[in-house]
Amino acid sequence: MTLEGTTDGGPPARRAGAGNESRDDEDVNNSTNRLLERLVHSVMSLAGLGVLLSLGIVDMVLGLARPSVITLAALVAVITWRLSGRALGSSALVLGLIMLLTTVSPDSTPVAILPFGVTATAVTLLVIGLSAWRAEPTRATVAIPLLLGSLVLGPVQLSATRIAPVVSLALALAGVIAGATGLWARMLQTGRRRQAVAEQLAQRASIASDLHDYVAHHVTGIVVLAQAAQSVAAKQPQAVLPALERIEAAGDEAMTAIRRMVALLHEPGSQARLTPMGTIADIASLADHFTSGDDVKVRLNISGDFDDVPIDVQSAAHRVVMEALTNVRRHAEGVQALEILVHRDTRPDSVTVEVSNDGRARVGHVAAGGYGLAGLRDRALALGGSFTAGPRTPDGWTVQARFPTEGAR
């Protein structure tokens, strides 16, 4: 194999570390977001304690509730704020039963317009909202009506004032608003979880596609090298050792890729992104290491400035070249010349990749179904580009992809 190469527009190798820089920035952003979330949670907790203290003072000044009731309501607020799932649902259910039994008990004596006081009423609304948000659905379905019923029936059952029905309606409205707010928060949280699951599934599909492309590239090279070594073993035994060394190197690279990808698949909660297999700077290495059974003249032409090309576009361009070279090894014979063109266009701003050869389909060879070209087409479309692959006249095959650089990550 002989290699001719030309590059223009400066070394694109500086972009090879862009994936690591992007991941470092993402880690910093995630840490900052977590710190902000903790800060907001702390501020909200302090604000809640301040509100409880203020309501407790109002209850004591106006004589609406005994200190023991105020203290118990504050403890309920602090405990339920930290609960979720079944624990929160069970606690809300017990609280609702106690309040409802207290309200409808025939031994209860008439009290003020708010039977449980301002603090306990506010805490009950808080528990309704938290139950709708974070409690186990079955328990929440039972607990919320009990809590709401105790609030609505309290003024009517335990208060002798004429405005008791109005207060009951107001508390019913407040309870509905609290429950609706909690339900909205639950739906928002569920949507985020579904989005996270969808992103994980998409990441796994991407890893599977990368696994196919990367391993197939090296395994195909190993097969070709082994076939070449067998054919020259008798006449040129000195050529066998270099072929074996290259087979070993390709096998090591393939196994490293497999271990790295399998590790990601075994971490469903991991937010780590797969390191890009290569960039435009690595295409020269692909061309240099390309091997086939024939003496192929490889011409590489990289033109344009790729310093500001997004990493996703660079990785996609690298994969197009890798998959095209893999297919030449697997499906073509009689290849004399292979041309790799990578060009940066300015109007419109895009990167064009084209790999063509003058070979013909291998006689008696039937291509098995795979994900290589289909995956490249999907990736090109996802980046807003285009992808074509097909025969050329008179002989040969051409793979071409165009990736817009604006709007890509």
Q: What is the pLDDT of residues 158-167, one digit of tens each?
A: 555 677 788 8
Determine phi and psi for 206, rounding to 5 degrees: -65, -40
DSSP per-residue string spanning 152-168: HHHHHHHB-STTHHHHH
Claim to verify: residue 168 and residue 292 sit in the same structural domain: no
Model confidence at 156: pLDDT above 90? no
204 vs 120, residue with greater confidence? 120
- Domain assignment present for 293: yes
| Average pLDDT score, the chain | 76
Asked if pLDDT for residue 108 goes beyond 60, the answer is no
- How do residues 184-219 score in pLDDT, each as one tens digit? 989 998 888 888 788 777 766 766 666 666 666 667
227 inside domain: no
**Last residue of one domain, picked from the residues 157, 175, 194:** 194
Would residue 104 count as lying in a domain? yes
Could you read off the pLDDT of 34-77 as tens digits, one per residue? 777 778 777 877 887 888 788 888 877 877 777 888 888 888 88
Tell me, yes or no, whether 189 and 47 share the same domain: yes
Please check whether residue 45 lies inside any domain of the structure: yes
Asked if residue 256 is part of any domain, the answer here is no
Q: What is the pLDDT of residue 261?
A: 64
Does the CA dihedral 224-225-228-229 come out positive or negative? negative
Give the model's confidence band at 2: pLDDT under 50 very low, under 70 low, under 90 confident, else very high: low
Q: Which of 178, 194, 210 is the last residue of a domain?
A: 194
Q: What per-residue confidence (pLDDT) applies to 187?
A: 92
Cis peptide, bond prior to residue 394, ω within 30 of zero: yes
**pLDDT for residue 313:** 85
> Is residue 136 included in any domain, yes or no?
yes
Residues 83 and 138 in one domain: yes
Task: Give the C-alpha separation, 359 to 338, whole Å.
Answer: 9
Strand 332-333 and strand 360-361: pairing? antiparallel
Same domain, 186 and 67: yes
Structural domains of the chain, count:
2
- Of 140, 172, 194, which residue constitutes the final position of a domain? 194
**Same domain as 96, residue 6:** no
Domain that holds residue 378: 1-13+278-409
Q: CB neighbours of 267 closer than 8 A, spacing ≥ 6?
A: none
| 397 contacts: CB under 8 Å, gap ≥ 6 | 327, 328, 332, 356, 357, 359, 389, 390, 391
Residues 289 and 337 in one domain: yes
d(CA 356, CA 116): 82
Instruction: Tell whether 322 and 395 lie within a shared domain.
Output: yes
Give 242-255 pLDDT, tens digit per residue. 777 777 777 776 67
Position 29 in a domain: no
Look up the pTM and report it.
Answer: 0.54
What was the pLDDT predicted at 22? 47
Same domain, 186 and 66: yes
- CATH label of the domain that carries residue 364: 3.30.565.10
Residue 165 lies in a domain: yes
